[in-house]
Amino acid sequence: MMRIIYSRLAPRGMWCGVFAFFITCGVGAFAQGNRAASPPAAQSAATVPPEYRIGAGDVLEVDVWKEPEASTQGVVVRADGKITVPLVKEVEVAGLTTGELEKILEQRLAKFIPAAEVTVVVREVNSKKVYMIGAVRRTGPIKLDYPMTILQVLAEAGGVTDFAKKTKIYVLRHQGDKDIRIPFNYSQVIKGEHIEQNIRVLPGDTIVVPQ
Protein backbone atom coordinates (compact mmCIF):
# COMPACT_ATOMS: atom_id res chain seq x y z
CA MET A 1 0.00 0.00 0.00
CA MET A 2 2.81 2.39 0.91
CA ARG A 3 4.55 1.86 -2.43
CA ILE A 4 1.28 2.69 -4.25
CA ILE A 5 0.92 5.96 -2.25
CA TYR A 6 4.49 7.01 -3.07
CA SER A 7 3.93 6.25 -6.74
CA ARG A 8 0.84 8.46 -6.75
CA LEU A 9 2.49 11.34 -4.88
CA ALA A 10 5.62 11.62 -6.99
CA PRO A 11 7.10 10.12 -10.13
CA ARG A 12 9.73 7.44 -9.83
CA GLY A 13 12.39 9.75 -11.31
CA MET A 14 12.00 12.14 -8.40
CA TRP A 15 12.68 9.41 -5.79
CA CYS A 16 15.73 8.30 -7.75
CA GLY A 17 16.95 11.87 -7.61
CA VAL A 18 16.36 12.09 -3.85
CA PHE A 19 18.17 8.79 -3.32
CA ALA A 20 21.11 10.00 -5.41
CA PHE A 21 21.19 13.26 -3.41
CA PHE A 22 21.57 11.44 -0.08
CA ILE A 23 24.22 9.12 -1.51
CA THR A 24 26.18 12.15 -2.76
CA CYS A 25 25.90 13.89 0.62
CA GLY A 26 27.06 10.76 2.39
CA VAL A 27 30.09 10.40 0.13
CA GLY A 28 30.91 14.09 0.54
CA ALA A 29 30.68 13.88 4.33
CA PHE A 30 32.88 10.78 4.33
CA ALA A 31 35.50 12.51 2.19
CA GLN A 32 35.36 15.61 4.36
CA GLY A 33 35.83 13.48 7.46
CA ASN A 34 38.85 11.84 5.87
CA ARG A 35 40.33 15.24 5.02
CA ALA A 36 39.82 16.39 8.58
CA ALA A 37 41.51 13.28 9.90
CA SER A 38 44.51 13.64 7.60
CA PRO A 39 47.68 14.97 9.25
CA PRO A 40 48.58 18.59 8.47
CA ALA A 41 51.20 19.22 5.83
CA ALA A 42 54.72 19.32 7.18
CA GLN A 43 56.24 22.73 7.78
CA SER A 44 58.51 23.70 4.91
CA ALA A 45 62.20 23.79 5.65
CA ALA A 46 64.59 26.56 4.83
CA THR A 47 66.36 26.13 1.52
CA VAL A 48 69.99 25.54 2.41
CA PRO A 49 72.73 23.81 0.41
CA PRO A 50 74.32 20.59 1.74
CA GLU A 51 77.49 22.52 2.63
CA TYR A 52 75.59 25.01 4.83
CA ARG A 53 77.19 25.39 8.27
CA ILE A 54 74.81 25.53 11.23
CA GLY A 55 75.10 28.60 13.44
CA ALA A 56 73.70 30.12 16.63
CA GLY A 57 70.06 31.11 16.30
CA ASP A 58 69.24 28.56 13.60
CA VAL A 59 66.20 26.36 14.21
CA LEU A 60 66.65 22.62 13.61
CA GLU A 61 64.49 19.53 13.39
CA VAL A 62 66.04 16.24 14.45
CA ASP A 63 64.10 13.16 13.34
CA VAL A 64 65.09 9.67 14.47
CA TRP A 65 63.34 7.15 12.24
CA LYS A 66 60.54 5.31 14.06
CA GLU A 67 61.65 6.84 17.37
CA PRO A 68 59.44 9.89 18.04
CA GLU A 69 60.56 10.09 21.68
CA ALA A 70 64.17 10.51 20.54
CA SER A 71 63.23 13.16 17.97
CA THR A 72 62.83 16.87 18.49
CA GLN A 73 61.35 19.72 16.45
CA GLY A 74 61.96 23.44 16.59
CA VAL A 75 65.15 23.25 18.66
CA VAL A 76 67.11 26.52 18.60
CA VAL A 77 70.89 26.53 18.45
CA ARG A 78 72.00 28.42 21.55
CA ALA A 79 74.60 31.17 21.69
CA ASP A 80 77.16 28.59 22.86
CA GLY A 81 76.57 26.61 19.64
CA LYS A 82 74.81 23.70 21.33
CA ILE A 83 71.37 22.07 21.27
CA THR A 84 69.70 19.60 23.62
CA VAL A 85 68.53 16.32 22.11
CA PRO A 86 66.61 13.54 23.94
CA LEU A 87 68.82 10.71 25.24
CA VAL A 88 72.15 12.23 24.17
CA LYS A 89 71.54 15.57 25.94
CA GLU A 90 73.80 18.46 24.83
CA VAL A 91 75.45 18.37 21.42
CA GLU A 92 77.84 20.91 19.85
CA VAL A 93 76.36 21.72 16.43
CA ALA A 94 77.71 25.15 15.41
CA GLY A 95 79.95 24.91 12.38
CA LEU A 96 78.64 21.50 11.30
CA THR A 97 76.69 20.62 8.17
CA THR A 98 73.43 18.70 8.61
CA GLY A 99 75.13 15.57 7.24
CA GLU A 100 77.96 15.81 9.76
CA LEU A 101 75.51 16.31 12.60
CA GLU A 102 73.44 13.30 11.49
CA LYS A 103 76.52 11.04 11.75
CA ILE A 104 77.45 12.38 15.19
CA LEU A 105 73.93 11.84 16.51
CA GLU A 106 73.74 8.32 15.06
CA GLN A 107 76.99 7.43 16.84
CA ARG A 108 75.87 8.87 20.16
CA LEU A 109 72.43 7.26 19.91
CA ALA A 110 73.89 3.83 19.13
CA LYS A 111 74.03 2.85 22.81
CA PHE A 112 70.29 3.52 23.14
CA ILE A 113 68.97 2.77 19.64
CA PRO A 114 70.99 0.27 17.57
CA ALA A 115 71.33 1.29 13.90
CA ALA A 116 69.55 4.61 14.50
CA GLU A 117 68.77 6.60 11.35
CA VAL A 118 68.83 10.36 11.93
CA THR A 119 67.69 13.17 9.66
CA VAL A 120 68.52 16.79 10.49
CA VAL A 121 66.68 19.63 8.76
CA VAL A 122 67.33 23.37 9.07
CA ARG A 123 63.88 24.91 9.59
CA GLU A 124 65.00 28.52 9.99
CA VAL A 125 68.25 30.27 9.15
CA ASN A 126 68.93 32.99 11.72
CA SER A 127 72.69 32.85 12.16
CA LYS A 128 73.79 34.40 8.88
CA LYS A 129 73.67 38.18 9.22
CA VAL A 130 75.37 41.36 8.10
CA TYR A 131 75.25 44.65 9.98
CA MET A 132 74.32 48.13 8.79
CA ILE A 133 75.84 51.26 10.34
CA GLY A 134 75.45 54.92 9.44
CA ALA A 135 73.26 56.83 7.02
CA VAL A 136 70.72 54.16 6.02
CA ARG A 137 66.98 54.01 6.68
CA ARG A 138 67.32 50.98 8.94
CA THR A 139 70.47 50.20 10.88
CA GLY A 140 71.27 46.94 12.66
CA PRO A 141 71.47 43.28 11.59
CA ILE A 142 70.03 42.01 8.32
CA LYS A 143 69.47 38.30 7.76
CA LEU A 144 71.14 36.64 4.79
CA ASP A 145 68.31 34.39 3.70
CA TYR A 146 70.00 34.06 0.31
CA PRO A 147 73.32 35.21 -1.24
CA MET A 148 73.25 39.03 -1.36
CA THR A 149 75.42 41.78 -2.80
CA ILE A 150 76.21 45.11 -1.12
CA LEU A 151 73.55 46.85 -3.20
CA GLN A 152 70.92 44.28 -2.24
CA VAL A 153 71.73 44.65 1.45
CA LEU A 154 71.45 48.43 1.17
CA ALA A 155 68.05 47.95 -0.43
CA GLU A 156 67.00 45.67 2.44
CA ALA A 157 68.01 48.47 4.80
CA GLY A 158 65.63 50.84 3.00
CA GLY A 159 68.37 52.57 1.02
CA VAL A 160 70.77 55.34 1.96
CA THR A 161 69.60 58.66 3.41
CA ASP A 162 69.99 62.10 1.83
CA PHE A 163 72.95 62.76 4.12
CA ALA A 164 74.93 59.66 3.10
CA LYS A 165 78.38 60.05 1.57
CA LYS A 166 77.60 57.67 -1.26
CA THR A 167 81.14 57.55 -2.61
CA LYS A 168 82.68 56.70 0.78
CA ILE A 169 80.75 53.54 1.70
CA TYR A 170 82.82 50.53 2.69
CA VAL A 171 82.50 46.96 3.97
CA LEU A 172 84.34 46.08 7.16
CA ARG A 173 85.31 42.41 7.04
CA HIS A 174 87.19 40.30 9.55
CA GLN A 175 89.80 38.17 7.80
CA GLY A 176 92.15 36.01 9.79
CA ASP A 177 93.41 38.13 12.66
CA LYS A 178 92.68 41.53 11.13
CA ASP A 179 89.88 43.68 9.74
CA ILE A 180 89.96 44.89 6.15
CA ARG A 181 88.03 47.68 4.45
CA ILE A 182 86.47 47.07 1.04
CA PRO A 183 85.44 50.35 -0.69
CA PHE A 184 82.07 50.71 -2.39
CA ASN A 185 81.10 53.72 -4.51
CA TYR A 186 77.31 53.71 -4.50
CA SER A 187 77.04 56.54 -7.04
CA GLN A 188 79.12 54.67 -9.59
CA VAL A 189 77.48 51.28 -9.15
CA ILE A 190 73.92 52.48 -9.58
CA LYS A 191 75.02 54.08 -12.86
CA GLY A 192 76.41 50.75 -14.01
CA GLU A 193 80.01 51.85 -13.59
CA HIS A 194 82.63 49.69 -11.84
CA ILE A 195 80.00 47.14 -10.92
CA GLU A 196 82.79 44.81 -9.78
CA GLN A 197 82.60 46.75 -6.52
CA ASN A 198 79.18 45.26 -5.88
CA ILE A 199 80.60 42.14 -4.26
CA ARG A 200 78.70 39.44 -2.42
CA VAL A 201 78.65 40.07 1.32
CA LEU A 202 79.65 37.43 3.85
CA PRO A 203 78.11 36.60 7.23
CA GLY A 204 79.57 38.92 9.85
CA ASP A 205 80.32 41.76 7.42
CA THR A 206 79.54 45.31 8.51
CA ILE A 207 78.51 47.85 5.87
CA VAL A 208 79.42 51.40 6.93
CA VAL A 209 77.65 54.35 5.27
CA PRO A 210 79.33 57.60 6.44
CA GLN A 211 77.40 60.85 6.63
Residues 154-209 have pLDDT tens digits of: 999 999 999 999 999 999 998 878 889 999 999 999 999 999 999 999 888 999 99
Q: How many residues does the chain have?
A: 211
- C-alpha 46/C-alpha 52 separation (Å) is 11
Q: Can you point out the beta strands (E) in the chain?
A: 59-64, 72-76, 82-85, 89-92, 118-124, 129-134, 140-143, 169-175, 178-184, 206-209
CATH code for the part of the protein at 129-209: 3.10.560.10
Q: How much is the pTM? A: 0.57
Q: Please name which of 171, 133, 126 lies closest in space to residue 150, comparing C-alpha atoms.
A: 171
CATH for 59-124 (2.40.100.10, 3.10.20.30, 3.30.1950.10, 3.30.70.330): 3.30.1950.10
Residues 125-155 have pLDDT tens digits of: 888 899 999 999 999 999 887 789 999 999 9
- pLDDT value at position 11? 52
